[in-house]
Structure 1
């Protein structure tokens, strides 16, 4: 069966991959470990694979995770992903009607769903820490409203909506004198920023392995402070754990190599492109940024870039329903960079973006010319005779998106 003519085509040898925040490209060595372990599992079964991997599963991967998060290896836990780990630990938390939970507008929908379920089960209150006018978390609000009723605080290290970096250590210092358990989602920061649970003051740190760490899908991990959390997340497949272990080793080696921060280059391209609105609230971004065009839908931009060998992600409001960028339900395009990218990827993105926008502008102008010609033509004779309804009635214009509404 032939692929549709309008389907994106990818040149795997020349693709500029600017979606590490969505799915990082596995290094060759990591992919080889995953393939070999999957083949062994398929031939001999999972029990034999576990015996073959031995210390990799029991100690080595936990030692690497401990080094990554600045915690004892015995306090790290493997999971199928950050969301699964967060749900397992937080859902086991016992709260009451007098307790309060704090989250932020950067919270992703998976973690937010867990918090809403906890609120509904325990009848506690779920409050959203506001943002300042510049887009940063309002730490003054936190200082003014913290008390012993605040039982749980969930903060994202780097916002998946637009790359805003939150000041975890400053939040930790505000919470330290109080009873609140401090949970950090590091899914979009591990692999590109240092994450030290002790310095942050966090009681729980969750993360995915397939983003900036460039490990396989369906594997994540957590640090859980002893004696604070109950619950246990579902375990990932042994082959995925072995590949994550290889990815952690690759990451540790890459840290010793010089690398350029390509985000300023990427931001400059977006800022100088006519018609583009940059979505970059807050004083600091890391690894990614989001943007939208005033006239060209995000889906068309993403598909047009993909046809030109540039891979980005289209984001939708439902992924970060509390974020200001989601209030109008509009979609956006998110680009992310990592040390495996080069300046040539940014140059290719800029040229491809210009081509896509020019192509869409030409199509829009052609439609407008066709519409004007149609309006100037004699009225069509429909079944109702001259002057009756036209059989060529235009469909209603505009994009439609499913929008998540939240009760107030």
Structure 2
């Protein structure tokens, strides 16, 4: 990779130090041009007509996403965000009183709310699998908790609130042996490092375009293993075919979860970003991003008055930190004044982790492959200044 060239082709790199890729990555000029070209085409000839003219490129988005996660194009459905994709999968499962939903302490906030809603609505039970000594989901405990009442294992691959990477391949082996559906929230992992659904063994996977894939906001997708389809009842009637009487049949494959209307400029932008990720090689970009995360974590841990809070034996590019005596929002604001983008974790985004550790809010810094060591130094210098005086250097 020519990092200097990639940065030149990323407009945001000229103006900011972007350490908020777990929030939204910076789109490349290539992706931006793809989107604006389609918007101009819609303006010239009409929205339906533009979609028809670009049909082959739209179909290639499905192929690119399938290649990215190790699936097939017919196993992919497009959504306007990862939350809707996840909800389409989750709410297609039927739950009854006494059923159990197993999840981890790293589960994302809106997923947890959906579990709690279904528990209240149906009498199902939400069971939180404990962490192991490294802070990952304890796979031995998961295996012991699985029984005939378990209807779903729902896990976040990487939490929104830290650098933890859960042992999803081992979770997949356990759920396959038990015959229990495995729903994987890969929102923070797809695009950050290689993710292969066949190796993981999940039945359903959801992800977004806007984070480490560097795609536009308003894009997401769902991958569905064909063998799980007969256990799912989608809630999107637009994805069914009327039989001419009083019945219907579902669209084949993952398309039964989709709606007809999409923002095709965003979809094509997503396809551009995915193709770029594939060309660069997610293994190579992921190795660089994770190395930058480790380097940043090392810098921050060396600063008096600054600590990091990432769990796990294997850690990714997301780094969470706290400056003693300085609220996380003030740390974020100080970094922003120096042109550095970060986020803040919130207790309600990681309810079960908050119950366990009570460390949130934290400052979340998330480099990607186009970031540089100099940018890490700039961020560390701001935090060092805050730790010494309560004011940036």
User: TM-score, normalized by length of structure 1?
Assistant: 0.81
Which structure shows the higher helix fraction? 2
Aligned with residue 339 of structure 2, among 309, 312, 330: 309
Assess, with a 3 A threshold, how the Cα gap between structure 1 residues 229 and 56 changes in structure 2: closer, same or farther. Answer: farther
1:395 is aligned to: none
2:318 is aligned to: 288
2:362 is aligned to: 332
Separation of aligned partners in 2, 1:102 and 1:323: 15
Give per-residue Cα distances to partners, 1:83-103, cap 9 Å, x unaligned: 101111211211211311111
Q: Is the 8 A contact 2:71 2:197 kept in 1?
A: yes
2:273 is aligned to: 247
Aligned with residue 299 of structure 2, among 269, 284, 287: 269
Separation of aligned partners in 2, 1:145 and 1:123: 18
Q: How do residues 18-57 of structure 1 correspond to structure 2 at under 5 angstroms?
A: 18-57=19-58
Separation of aligned partners in 1, 2:276 and 2:13: 22
Q: Is the 8 A contact 2:157 2:186 kept in 1?
A: yes
Q: Is the 8 A contact 2:131 2:137 kept in 1?
A: yes
Offset, 1:241: 0.5
2:220 is aligned to: 220
Separation of aligned partners in 1, 2:183 and 2:371: 31
SS at match of 2:279: helix
Q: Is the 8 A contact 1:82 1:220 kept in 2?
A: yes
Separation of aligned partners in 1, 2:178 and 2:293: 37
Separation of aligned partners in 1, 2:336 and 2:392: 19
Separation of aligned partners in 2, 1:56 and 1:120: 44
Of the structure 1 ranges 187-196 and 129-138, higher mean CA displacement relative to structure 2 is found in 129-138
Give unpaired runs (5+ residues) of structure 2. 1-11, 235-256
Give unpaired runs (5+ residues) of structure 1. 1-10, 364-408
Give per-residue Cα distances to partners, 1:101-135, cap 9 Å, x unaligned: 11111111122222222222322111111112331
Assess, with a 3 A threshold, how the Cα gap between structure 1 residues 43 and 329 changes in structure 2: closer, same or farther. Answer: farther
Assess, with a 3 A threshold, how the Cα gap between structure 1 residues 233 and 315 changes in structure 2: closer, same or farther. Answer: farther
Give per-residue Cα distances to partners, 1:145-182, cap 9 Å, x unaligned: 21121110001111111120001110111111223110
Offset, 1:357: 3.7
Assess, with a 3 A threshold, how the Cα gap between structure 1 residues 197 and 156 changes in structure 2: closer, same or farther. Answer: same
